[in-house]
Amino acid sequence: MGVVNRGKQPSLTQLRAFAAVAEHLHFRDAAAAIGMSQPALSGAVSALEDALGVQLVERTTRKVLLSPAGERLAARAHAVLRAVGALMEEAEAARAPFTGVLRLGVIPTVAPYLLPTVLRLVQDAYPDLELQVHEEQTASLLDGLTAGRLDLLLLALPLGLPGLAEFPLFDEDFVLVTPESHPLGGRPDIAPGALRELPMLLLDEGHCLRGQALDICREAGRGDDASVTTTAAGLSTLVQLVAGGLGVTLLPRTAVEVEAGRGGLKTASFAEPAPTRRIALVARPGAARHAEFAEFAGALREALRPLPVRIAS
């Protein structure tokens, strides 16, 4: 028994049998504790000794004693069995939907306005889900998704990156935010062409909302991007500049209550068809949690119905 049998590996059954013997120091009691017959238990311990190439127990007529090697390896056997138990628990948790960590990436022009709804939904409907929120610009979020750093994104479409799994949530209109004294302030049906000559304030480079706003301006016949003044890194600063009389800006409807509710501002709506943006959840194609993400998107659509948006079907 002094040479390890290289062709054999200890089995979990053998390790459980030996761990039970080491705990009870009695074959009959050990067999009863793990639900094995005594001959099967004895055979499993012998097979483990053969696989390891060492004697683990000393069998006497009255009791079982652990050999010096058995004393040392009993602790290892218990550690292996605990690790296997932890592995099975982790697998069980992985099989259960809406458990474990969900790393959600959100763009800055969505996060302040939708996260309260998202967080309430997770707290109420998915209490075992550990949500981690990462606010970044679109390009960084997409890099994080494809690299596996993030699991799910909440952002505006289109992305310009084919092949991703998209779960549309809603469409929302853009509104024009003006100083309180502006002649267009409060109008319910302005034509997009009105944007051609207005002093437009937009977000810095890198924000997808900047690109969307520029597209709206181009569609309105405003061809010179140089006439658009970039002055702000966030929407809060942008609307403060509008209130100060430096120009006008475009806001998505979900941001109006938070950002344009202060004094010195008015909002104007566009005539139909109004410029819009679509907000969606986005995941990697073939993600293991695809069905879970689809269910989450459905629940989120329902939770978002009180907002001034058109829920996607």
Quote the percentage of the chain above a pLDDT of 70.
Answer: 93
Amino acid symbol at 262? R
The domains located in the chain, with CATH, are 12-95 (1.10.10.10), 98-313 (3.40.190.290)
Among the ranges 127-131, 241-245, 298-302, which has the highest mean pLDDT value? 298-302
CA distance 172 to 274: 9
Residue 224 pLDDT: 55
Q: 206: which residues sit within 8 A by CB, 6+ positions away?
A: 137, 138, 139
Residue 60 pLDDT: 75
DSSP 8-state symbol, 246: S
Strands, DSSP E only, in the chain? 57-59, 64-66, 100-106, 129-135, 152-157, 165-179, 201-203, 229-232, 249-252, 265-269, 276-283, 310-311
Residue 155 predicted with pLDDT over 90: yes
CA distance 90 to 41: 28
Q: What is the pLDDT of residues 38-56, one digit of tens each?
A: 999 999 999 999 999 999 9
Residue 7 pLDDT: 59
Chain center to CA of 86: 24
Percent helix, strand, coil in the chain, to 5, is 45, 25, 35
CA distance 207 to 160: 14
Whether the CB-CB separation of 174 and 277 falls below 8 Å is answered with yes
Please confirm whether the linkage preceding 158 is cis (ω < 30° from 0).
Answer: yes
Q: Does an H or E element contain 49, and which?
A: helix 38-52
Read off the pLDDT band of 313 (50, 70, 90).
confident
Q: Is 141 helix (H, G, I), strand (E, B) or coil?
A: helix
Give this prediction's pTM.
0.71
Give the residue-averaged pLDDT of 288-313.
Answer: 94
Q: 232: which residues sit within 8 A by CB, 6+ positions away?
A: 201, 202, 203, 204, 238, 241
Residue 5 pLDDT: 54
CA 27 → CA 24, 43, 182, distances in Å?
8, 11, 91
Strands 64-66 and 249-252: unpaired
CA angle at 58 for the pair 54 and 61, rounded to the nearest 5°: 155
Read off the pLDDT band of 228 (50, 70, 90).
low
Give the residue-averaged pLDDT of 10-18.
Answer: 94
